[in-house]
Amino acid sequence: MERLSTGIAELDAMLEGGIPKGFMVAITGEPGTGKTILCIHFIAQGVSEGDKCIYVTTEESRESIITQAAQFGFAFSKSAAEKKMIIIDALMGRQDEWSLQSLEVEELVNKVIEAKKVLGYGRARLVIDSLSAFWLDRPAMARRYSYFVKKVLSKWDFTVMATSQYAITTSEAFGWGVEHIADGIIRFRRSVRSGVLKRYILIEKMRQTNHSLQMHEILVLPGKGLTILGPVDMRKEDIALPKHVMERIQKSSERRELEIP
């Protein structure tokens, strides 16, 4: 089976060498836990291997993604200028060629296909950061939209990372739709121990892969990016959500299962 490197050697080892070609992988977690940084690694690795790379950003500008990548030693601006990758800006509403004017999944898919045609034939990587932005005002459509995106883009030789946020203060997980449809789920978590913020990564699902089942602590280092320190033994209080939040999530999940045909 052909696998694509994530750009992080330790994570590849946890995945039997990387993400299976053609998969859609949901990258989920609270804000500020490392989702975008993983996506930057994934695209940077693709550029280095000659893959056709597309990055869709909905919550930051194109310039912000380029700046973040530069902090870790990745020259996205140069790669874009050399037509090795295209960054589609869905935040600023500009009138340029590679911007979206609305958060509509049909416009997203059409623009991604247009970008792939420009980049040319060959193995492709796509990041949608975040996919959940396309249904924030229509949460009941999350699963249907995710399926539509996966079905249409599967014909274009893409391996996809799609981020979605989980809001710890509510019962609603923005990623329910994409998690049901995704071939894999990589979840980021965080906790505060002894007054220090800790971040973690866990592979919850990856089809056709004997993946690691352990949670690993991560760091984000200047000039290097996301670094996996190793597996950790977690206390229940470090990772458990408040009881009332868990109860509301369970009820919400059961309701969705009843609503979706």
Dump pLDDT digits (tens) for 150-169.
999 999 999 999 999 765 54
Predicted local confidence at residue 169, as pLDDT? 47
Quote the percentage of the chain above a pLDDT of 90.
Answer: 68
Q: pLDDT at position 65, please? A: 98
Is it the case that residue 171 has pLDDT exceeding 60? no
pLDDT of 63 reads 97
Which CB contacts under 8 angstroms, 24+ apart, belong to 164-170? 164/26, 164/27, 164/28, 164/130, 164/131, 164/132, 165/28, 165/29, 165/30, 165/31, 165/35, 165/130, 165/132, 166/28, 166/29, 166/30, 167/30, 168/30, 168/241, 168/245, 169/245, 170/245, 170/248
**Parent domain of 133:** 3-259
Our count of domains for the chain comes to 1
Which one has a higher pLDDT value, 251 or 63?
63
The CATH code of the domain that includes 172 is 3.40.50.300
Pairing of strands 225-231, 216-221: antiparallel
pLDDT in tens, 62-85: 999 999 999 999 999 999 999 999
* Confidence band for 139, pLDDT divided at 50, 70 and 90: confident
State residue 175's pLDDT score: 46
